[in-house]
């Protein structure tokens, strides 16, 4: 299960305790087990259509539960030699770990790949495409629309955004892409609301800020 306590390195003021409590209560309602043993979501995809995203995409797969089951997820190379996924995907990561964001479900690790995909901010109402892995380790895709962008009081970058799509298990840590092929977010959770499924993702401003915070920590 992913952890979710909101903090951002670019807070205008020190994070208020009551805000963190509200975040914890809200996220208690989310289904955070995006990586794991479950039915596949999205639809099969032969390949990733966006060249920069294809060059940065990393499928994750591992045997879990004493080798009885498999777990699937995804990661993205966001800078030369550096990839990001969800912290709750840690058991799927084989490369050297740089660190976990203190209060976000993000984990950064080193890879032998140089990619630096173009990024952009999500736009409410904008069409997006998400990529992830199926239970049989095949590439899956889900398409939807950005529904909301959440910026808590006292912060100058968003904590997360939501998009409505048929993503879910296996999309954890995977990319969210806009219609111009730019990386706008990293998926981390979902919540079913009746017949609709809302997917939660960190936007790239948040992801890059968290990486910068880890790189600035005293060695």
Q: Of 218, 215, 61, 74, which Cα lies nearest the Cα of 141?
A: 74
* DSSP label of 29: T
Predicted TM-score (pTM) of the model is 0.83
* Beta strand residue intervals within 50-138, DSSP E: 57-64, 69-79, 82-85, 97-100, 107-110, 127-133
**What is the tens place of the pLDDT at every residue in 1-50?**
233 333 333 333 334 444 443 443 344 344 444 444 456 789 999 999 99
Q: Of 128, 135, 127, 126, which Cα lies nearest the Cα of 44?
A: 135
Task: Indicate the class that CATH gives domain 17-215.
Answer: mainly beta
For the chain, give every domain's residue range: 17-215
**What is the tens place of the pLDDT at every residue in 83-135?**
999 999 999 999 899 999 987 899 999 999 999 999 999 999 999 999 999 88
């Amino acid at each position: 299960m992913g952890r979710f306590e909101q903090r951002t390195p670019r807070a205008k003021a020190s994070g208020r305790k009551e805000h963190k409590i509200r975040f914890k209560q809200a996220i208690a309602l989310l289904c955070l087990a995006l990586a794991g043993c479950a039915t596949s979501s999205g639809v099969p995809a032969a390949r990733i259509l966006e060249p920069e995203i294809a060059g940065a995409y990393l499928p994750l797969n591992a045997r879990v539960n004493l080798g009885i089951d498999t777990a699937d997820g995804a990661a993205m190379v966001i800078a030369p030699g550096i990839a990001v996924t969800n912290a709750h995907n840690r058991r799927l990561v084989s490369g050297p770990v740089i660190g976990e964001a203190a209060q976000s479900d993000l984990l950064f690790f080193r890879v032998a790949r140089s990619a630096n995909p173009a990024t952009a901010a999500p736009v409410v109402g904008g069409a997006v495409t998400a990529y992830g892995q199926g239970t049989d380790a095949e590439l899956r895709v889900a398409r939807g629309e950005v529904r909301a962008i959440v910026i808590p009081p006292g912060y100058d970058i968003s904590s997360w955004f939501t998009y409505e799509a048929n993503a879910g298990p296996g999309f954890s840590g995977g990319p969210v892409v806009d219609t111009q092929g730019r990386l706008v977010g990293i998926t981390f959770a979902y919540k079913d609301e009746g017949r609709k499924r809302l997917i939660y993702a960190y936007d790239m401003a948040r992801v890059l800020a968290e990486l910068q915070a880890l790189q600035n920590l005293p060695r």
